[in-house]
């Protein structure tokens, strides 16, 4: 179970590094007092996450050979719905690479401010490294991934515990809503929509059921449940820290960096924590290089995309799919200037 969690869940687990921050960014336009909505929004997202976990456990039982959205929709809902699912997955995979690398660059720049003017370059270097590794067929095994994933979970809980312990009464008071800003239900909806990025990657375990040891389906279901529980605890923990510390967006620092800095100062431990976060965000981006080329190969077999996407190199690697993903993510990073 630990191996499967490490190999297939970096995308989902790493979303705690940018999911709560996306909620805060959406709410902060109405004043820091509105950031108080973060915790209830995260609780609702956690309920939705657990519903997804239960649903994917059912998918695993029904499709033990791999239950990706495209395969499930094709088998149960027909070709048109399957194509919609495939298109959604393509967008998701490209955004996962771009968002993961951008968030990783932000975390790295929080630890090393000298990199702040070069975020796009950092992102593109990371993208080039991931592309080269995947083109040549060098993939991380579950054993190798267990260490950074374990360190990441420890780092997040260290930040949460440190943030709660470091809480003090001198936190800045919330500011009232800005004139003309959204408020109430519309504001909460915006925060909820922004926070849905924290739900990304939950499907990966259902996609990779064949990679588990026998009984594969049962092991995959247990791993899915473990992922859901860990992710919910981390999300709610971070939201509680945001609430008690009145954490608000600050230029040059991610929310996790702010909390870690308040708890542990700006020394070696602070930088180590952010380096671990950066590493797992990069690994999260790498999960797309395993998923999208396989999806494109299935679409190629069905005649939905050029047959080049179905060709395997000698490693074996779907190199055309890898390069297509890299180009799409690179264009998105350039358009957003790595932000």
Domain-by-domain residue ranges, the chain? 2-334
CA angle 100, 101, 106 (to 5 degrees): 100
The residue count of the chain comes to: 339
Query: Would you state the pLDDT for residue 78?
Result: 84
Of the options 1.20.1740.10, 1.20.120.160, 3.30.1280.10, 3.30.420.40, the CATH number for the domain spanning 2-334: 1.20.1740.10
Helix axes 38-62, 184-195, angle to 10 degrees: 40
The answer for 140, left when phi > 0, alpha when psi is -120 to 50, beta otherwise, is beta
Query: Would you state the pLDDT for residue 192?
Result: 95
Query: Would you state the pLDDT for residue 212?
Result: 76
Cα(65)–Cα(206) distance, integer angstroms: 9
Cα(281)–Cα(155) distance, integer angstroms: 13
Query: Would you state the pLDDT for residue 69?
Result: 79
Query: Would you state the pLDDT for residue 170?
Result: 47
CB count in 10 Å sphere of residue 316: 9
Cα(224)–Cα(148) distance, integer angstroms: 19
Over residues 237-285, the pLDDT tens digits come to 999 999 988 888 887 788 888 888 888 888 889 989 988 988 888 878 7
Query: What's the whole-model pTM score?
Result: 0.80
More confident residue, 183 or 129: 129
Query: Would you state the pLDDT for residue 249?
Result: 86
Q: What are the tokens at 143?
A: 């054993």
CB count in 10 Å sphere of residue 167: 18
C-beta separation of 246 from 173 below 8 A: yes
Q: How far apart are the first and last CA of the chain?
A: 35
**Residue 100 reports pLDDT greater than 70:** yes
Average pLDDT score, the chain: 84
**Residue 177 reports pLDDT greater than 80:** no
C-beta separation of 250 from 110 below 8 A: no
C-alpha dihedral, 70 to 74 to 78 to 79, nearest 10° = 60
Q: What are the tokens at 60?
A: 């695993």
Over residues 209-244, the pLDDT tens digits come to 766 778 888 888 998 999 999 999 999 999 999 998
């Amino acid at each position: 179970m630990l191996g499967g969690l490490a190999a297939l869940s970096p995308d989902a687990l790493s979303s705690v590094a940018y999911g709560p921050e996306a909620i805060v960014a959406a709410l902060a336009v109405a004043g820091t007092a509105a950031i108080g909505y973060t915790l209830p929004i995260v609780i609702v997202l956690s309920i939705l996450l657990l519903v997804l976990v239960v649903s994917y456990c059912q998918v695993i039982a029904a499709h033990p050979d791999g239950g990706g959205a495209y395969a499930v929709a094709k088998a149960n809902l027909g070709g048109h719905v399957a194509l919609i699912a495939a298109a959604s997955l393509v967008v998701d995979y490209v955004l996962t690479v771009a968002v993961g690398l951008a968030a990783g660059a932000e975390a790295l720049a929080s630890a090393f401010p000298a990199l702040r003017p070069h975020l796009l370059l950092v992102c593109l270097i990371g993208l080039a490294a991931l592309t080269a590794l995947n083109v040549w067929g060098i993939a991380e095994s579950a054993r190798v991934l267990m260490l950074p994933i374990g360190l990441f979970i420890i780092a997040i809980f260290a930040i949460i515990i440190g943030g709660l312990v470091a809480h003090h009464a001198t936190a800045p008071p919330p500011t009232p809503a800005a004139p003309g800003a959204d408020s109430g239900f519309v504001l909460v909806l915006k925060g909820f929509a922004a926070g849905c990025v924290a739900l990304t990657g939950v499907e990966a375990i259902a996609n990779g059921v064949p990679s588990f040891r026998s009984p594969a389906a049962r092991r995959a279901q247990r791993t899915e449940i473990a992922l859901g529980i860990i992710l919910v605890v981390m999300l709610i923990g971070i939201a509680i820290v945001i609430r008690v510390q009145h954490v608000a967006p600050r230029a040059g620092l991610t929310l996790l960096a702010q909390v870690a800095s308040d708890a542990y100062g700006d020394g070696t431990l602070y930088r180590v924590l952010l380096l671990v976060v950066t590493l797992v965000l990069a690994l999260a981006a790498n999960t797309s290089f395993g998923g999208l080329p396989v999806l494109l190969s299935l679409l190629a077999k069905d005649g939905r995309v050029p047959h080049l996407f179905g060709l395997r190199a000698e490693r074996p690697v779907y190199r055309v799919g890898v390069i297509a993903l890299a180009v799409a993510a690179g264009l998105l990073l350039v358009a957003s200037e790595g932000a």
